[in-house]
């Protein structure tokens, strides 16, 4: 059974156990002073010492921040984003930005935490990995410039080298420019996305345009004969009947996070891809605790802890698309509205790529790249302890789950994953 998605989605499922393995282990002690009184610093996870993995984690964390901001703006509606596409456009744009504007973009993308003299060369490697033909991901980003805008000297060659992007100069004719954009969109996605329903914004100096299409195939296909109408929870009190795909003997990886009070399941897709589901134990609209815990480091730790089980799995047939702007969301996320950089998001002040504004101060610190699952630093610096385990009988009966998070992982070796590439964040509050 083929399942079509545009990067990320929140979905619904219900699962019941056939078998499980216990993964509860002893708690790892929190870092603290040694016998001499000196603070013991955790060694960085070897995974994040690889430049492309570290960059992937940084871009992924930007994606989670972007999702959280968008989610807070629309707490009761569907949210669907392609953070990779947004991050790619911003990262590419930073090549032509002035020093302060470049710093603002890099801080939003967590580049300030990376010691890498060739960020953009590494990004090229990242894009090559996630857009390989077997991944079935089509992603494209573009920088569109006003005809009279003066661009930074030397901007175009490294832009083409690292991102395969050549800026498009507007003609000034909205109809012609929109048609050209739609033609480009169709060509870049090989016809998967034929056109944008949006008109080009007026009075722009710089427009960042991106698109993504993902069509995943389950490693073990669902039997279409087992698809039936079942309950889908819109909220704690309302349900509707929707088509549900079922597999009575699904092989998946599973764990229970007692701190987040949610079940976590990972389903394999072809192309060394997978989907990670976060299922609240209780039907609820409040996913704040789960959402606030999402970082690439946390997902990486989860991936190492989950255990393979056989379960009865039922998931809805869902196809999601989204066409819209994230201008205001990025402004709020990066505090660009007060930094004089509004032109970078396509509207507002008409400033060149070298325009400067005061750099923003980081409102919250990221999790340390070396933090472990059972000893992870929260978004505001507090220590949090997670215990992830499988529990025999934890899904002893079928349960209707209202909402869950779905994440894609990109396996780049036998035991490692890239999370940034398909890191997306979305929430489905109703069947689409």
36 falls within a domain? yes
Q: Report the alpha-carbon distance of residue 168 to residue 148 in Å, rounded.
A: 12
Distance of CA 168 to the CA centre of its chain: 27
158 falls within a domain? yes
Q: Which two tokens stand for residue 162?
A: 């690292």
74 falls within a domain? no
Residue 350: the pLDDT is: 25
User: Is 133 or 323 the better-scoring residue by pLDDT?
Assistant: 133
Of 293, 311, 345, which one is at a domain's C-terminal end? 345
Q: Which two tokens stand for residue 394?
A: 């934890």
% of the chain exceeding 90 in pLDDT: 19
Digit-coded pLDDT (tens) for 39-94: 555 677 888 889 999 999 999 999 999 888 888 887 777 777 788 888 999 999 99
Q: Is 338 helix (H, G, I), strand (E, B) or coil?
A: helix
205 falls within a domain? yes
Same domain, residue pair 27 and 104 = no
CATH of residue 37: 2.30.39.10
CATH of residue 122: 3.30.497.10
% of the chain exceeding 70 in pLDDT: 64
Same domain, residue pair 298 and 409 = yes
Digit-coded pLDDT (tens) for 277-313: 888 888 776 778 888 888 998 999 888 899 999 988 8
Mapping DSSP onto H, E and C, the string for 265-292 reads EEEEECCCEEEEEEEECCCCCCCHHHHH
131 falls within a domain? yes
Half-sphere exposure of 425 (CA within 13 A, CB side): 26
Residue 115 burial by CB count (10 A; 0-12/13-18/19+): exposed, middle or buried?
exposed
Residue 43: the pLDDT is: 73
User: Is 37 or 130 the better-scoring residue by pLDDT?
Assistant: 130
DSSP one-letter string for 291-330? HHH--HHHHHHHHHH-EEEEEEEEEE----------HHHH
Q: Report the alpha-carbon distance of residue 211 to residue 324 in Å, rounded.
A: 10
103 falls within a domain? yes
Mean pLDDT calculated for residue range 389-413: 32
pTM of the entire structure? Answer: 0.70
When pLDDT is cut at 50, 70 and 90, the band that residue 159 belongs to is: very high
Q: Report the alpha-carbon distance of residue 306 to residue 266 in Å, rounded.
A: 8
261-268: long-range contacts, CB 8 A cutoff, minimum separation 24: 261/289, 262/290, 262/404, 263/15, 263/394, 263/395, 264/302, 264/306, 264/388, 265/13, 265/15, 265/311, 265/313, 266/303, 266/306, 266/409, 267/218, 267/313, 268/218, 268/219, 268/220
Q: Which two tokens stand for residue 315?
A: 């998931």
Number of structural domains found in the chain: 2
298 falls within a domain? yes
Task: Indicate whether 424 pLDDT > 70.
Answer: no
Q: Is 388 helix (H, G, I), strand (E, B) or coil?
A: strand
Task: Indicate whether 200 pLDDT > 60.
Answer: yes
Q: Which domain holds residue 88?
A: 79-216+320-345
Same domain, residue pair 312 and 272 = yes
Task: Indicate whether 275 pLDDT > 70.
Answer: yes
97 falls within a domain? yes
């Amino acid at each position: 059974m083929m399942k079509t998605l545009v990067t990320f989605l929140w979905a619904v499922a219900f699962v019941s156990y056939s078998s499980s393995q216990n993964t509860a282990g002893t708690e790892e002690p929190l870092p603290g002073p040694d016998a001499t009184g000196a603070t013991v610093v955790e060694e960085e996870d070897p995974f994040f010492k690889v430049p492309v993995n570290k960059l992937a984690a940084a871009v992924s964390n930007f994606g989670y921040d972007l999702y959280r901001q968008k989610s807070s703006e629309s707490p009761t509606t569907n949210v669907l984003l392609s953070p990779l596409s947004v991050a790619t456009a911003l990262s590419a744009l930073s090549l032509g930005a002035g020093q302060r504007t470049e710093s603002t973009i890099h801080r939003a993308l967590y580049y300030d935490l990376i010691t890498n003299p060739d960020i953009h060369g590494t990004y090229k490697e990242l894009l090559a990995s996630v857009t390989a033909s077997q991944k079935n991901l089509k992603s494209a980003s573009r920088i569109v410039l006003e005809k009279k805008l003066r661009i930074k000297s030397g901007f175009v060659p490294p832009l083409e080298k690292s991102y395969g992007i050549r800026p498009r100069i507007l003609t000034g004719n909205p109809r012609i420019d929109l048609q050209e954009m739609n033609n480009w969109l169709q060509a870049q996605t090989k016809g998967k996305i034929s056109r944008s329903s949006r008109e080009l914004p007026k009075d722009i100096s710089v427009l960042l345009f991106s698109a993504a299409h993902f069509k995943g195939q389950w490693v073990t296909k669902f039997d279409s004969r087992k698809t039936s109408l079942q309950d889908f929870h819109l909220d704690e009190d309302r349900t509707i009947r929707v088509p549900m795909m079922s597999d009575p003997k699904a092989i998946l990886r599973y764990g229970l996070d007692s701190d987040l009070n949610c079940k976590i399941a990972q389903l394999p897709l072809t192309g060394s891809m997978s989907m990670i589901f976060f299922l609240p134990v209780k039907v609820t609209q409040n996913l704040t605790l789960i959402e606030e815990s999402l970082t690439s480091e946390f997902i990486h730790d989860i991936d190492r802890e989950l255990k393979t089980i056989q379960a009865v799995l039922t998931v809805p047939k869902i196809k999601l698309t989204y066409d819209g702007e994230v201008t205001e969301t990025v402004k709020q996320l990066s505090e660009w509205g007060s930094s004089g950089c509004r032109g970078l998001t396509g509207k507002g002040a008409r400033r060149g790529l070298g325009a400067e504004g005061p750099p923003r101060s980081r409102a919250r610190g990221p999790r340390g790249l070396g933090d472990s699952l059972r000893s992870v630093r929260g978004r505001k610096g507090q220590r949090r302890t997670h215990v992830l385990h499988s529990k025999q009988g934890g899904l002893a009966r079928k349960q209707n789950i209202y909402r869950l998070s779905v994440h894609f992982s990109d396996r780049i070796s036998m035991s490692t994953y890239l999370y940034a590439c398909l890191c997306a964040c979305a929430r489905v509050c109703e069947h689409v």
